[in-house]
Structure 1
Amino acid sequence: MNTIALLPHSKHILPEGRLKLVISRVCDIRMVTESMTDKRPFALGMIAPNHEPETISHIPAIATTVSIIDFNTQDSGLLEIIVEGIDTISVSTLTMAYDNLLTATYEPCVQWAPISINHDSQPLADKLKLLFESTPEISNIYQQTSYNNATWVCQRWLEVIPIDIKYKQSLIHHPTANMTIRFLLQLLQTIT
């Protein structure tokens, strides 16, 4: 079994996604420092927006390993980092250290292969592009986008769409993005 430091967070990330995080807890600063010093990833685990990491007793099974691609210190003294998703993993057990840092044992998950955008899935890419263009805090952290890859598009939607974590986890658990493509197309039809 592999082990990795795990940060529970209400912001979600999947492979090739990018996310800006503000790090404030002592244990998380230790995790970031060790990650940068040893050039090793840590994992981001999905929690609901109304939960605090200190009260977490259960993390959903699928998390994402991430690497730090940029960092700086805010005027307030807090650490701000930008992470990029690497792979999804299946978490089996959690251990909490003396300072509340979580460590997870895990197995790798099957990663979604790229799927080309076609006529049917094009609306997903078009609407995501509009979302990114209207949300500079998201678009500014992406130097590259892959609007022609339905897998990449679906993963970005799953990161930002406000649906229950159990539904996100269920979709991510599938071996390909096909189920997520169908789900998102249906969801966007009901919204528009």
Structure 2
Amino acid sequence: MKLALFPLSAHLLPGGIMPLRIFEPRYQRMVAEAQTREFALCMLDPRQPEAMRNMYPIATRVRIVDFDLLPDGLLGITVLGVARARITDLWQESDGLRVGEVEPLPPWQTSRLNADQHALAKALQDVFEDYPEYAALYQRPEWDDASWVAQRWLEVLPIPVEQKQWLMAAENNQPALSLLSGLLVASH
């Protein structure tokens, strides 16, 4: 599958919501073509010496769920993470928009949090309370869904990008939940 690629300095995972400001012509075109050619958010890799390939391989296919003209005249869009994907090849179009051949990764199975994992949801609720603008993006938080909770934590947790990429590439949520549980225990 071919997707336009939008590199950022942040991760978004399935079920995640992110507002974006679109100002470069190549990304304005990407948004205009979103009905016919989907796009994915990917994480910049500053260590990669070749500027055209400076992206980590695990990306998230997204869907535009809202758009608005911002007070500064720029286009604002809100995207919803739909599915994980692995970038297998990429190239650049004439206006600089990067496009990648991607292979879909299977979704993490939805499951309820175990009794010993409820603290992860409670701690994430505390983050939502501390950052009401972030919380406002989520009209229906899925506090009981282990994958949803793990993916929101991976978006906000300040851990090395390589570690996030490894966790995002995992076939299920267990490595992420194990790491998160360990971090929560260590912080208390």
TM range (shorter): over 0.9
Shift of the 152–71 alpha-carbon distance from structure 1 to 2, 3 Å rule, reads same
- Residue 182 of structure 2: aligned partner: 186
- In the alignment, is the contact (CA less than 8 A) between 1:41 and 1:68 conserved in 2? no
- Residue 8 of structure 2: aligned partner: 9
- Residue 104 of structure 2: aligned partner: 108
Aligned: 1:150 with 2:146: yes
> What is the deviation of 1:17?
0.7
- In the alignment, is the contact (CA less than 8 A) between 2:14 and 2:84 conserved in 1? yes
Counterpart of 2:132 in structure 1: which amino acid?
P
- In the alignment, is the contact (CA less than 8 A) between 2:4 and 2:37 conserved in 1? no
- Residue 63 of structure 1: aligned partner: 59
Distance 2:77 2:173 in 1: 28
Instruction: Give the 5 Å matches for 1:83-162.
Output: 83-162=79-158
> What is the deviation of 1:88?
0.3
- SS of the residue aligned with 2:115? coil
Distance 1:40 1:143 in 2: 27
Query: What is the TM-score normalised by the length of structure 2?
Result: 0.93
Let me know the Cα RMSD of the aligned residues.
Answer: 1.7
- SS of the residue aligned with 1:72? strand
- SS of the residue aligned with 1:121? helix
Distance 2:186 2:23 in 1: 39
Distance 2:117 2:37 in 1: 35
Aligned length: 186
Match of 1:165 among 145, 151, 161: 161
- In the alignment, is the contact (CA less than 8 A) between 1:151 and 1:177 conserved in 2? yes
> What is the deviation of 1:30?
0.9
The C-alpha deviation readout for 1:111-149, integer Å capped at 9, x for no partner, is 100121121111110000111122122111111110001
Unaligned runs of 5+ in 1: none
> What is the deviation of 1:19?
0.6
Match of 2:41 among 39, 44, 49: 44
Counterpart of 1:10 in structure 2: which amino acid?
S
Shift of the 173–101 alpha-carbon distance from structure 1 to 2, 3 Å rule, reads same
> What is the deviation of 1:39?
5.7
Distance 1:101 1:25 in 2: 10
Distance 2:44 2:83 in 1: 18
Unaligned runs of 5+ in 2: none
Same amino acid, percent of matched pairs: 36
